[in-house]
Amino acid sequence: MKYKQLNLEKRYQISALIKAGLNQKEIAFEVGVHPSTISREFRRNSDNVRDYILGKRIK
């Protein structure tokens, strides 16, 4: 299976959807990725889902 990284636009979209109160499954649907992709993104870049740190992935 070929994996693709989330681009900056999708990360901004994820951040906005978190602020809007959507859950992981809803965010995945809106962004167009599998829910496990969102879960991995949160795990890599936050202490918890609501503390998702967009800037951590922007270097």
Report pLDDT digits (tens) over 31-45: 999 999 999 888 887
Q: Is residue 40 part of a domain?
A: yes
Residue 13 lies in a domain: yes
Give the confidence band of 48 by pLDDT, cuts at 50, 70, 90.
Answer: low
Q: Domain for residue 18, yes or no?
A: yes
User: Is residue 23 domain-resident?
Assistant: yes
Residue-range definition of the domain harbouring residue 27:
8-57
pLDDT digits (tens, 9 = 90+) for 6-22: 898 999 999 899 889 99
Residue 3 falls inside a structural domain: no
Count of structural domains within the chain: 1
Torsional class of 6: left (φ above 0), alpha (ψ -120 to 50), beta (otherwise): beta
Rounded CA gap, 43 and 38, in Å?
9
Say if 1 falls within a structural domain. Answer: no
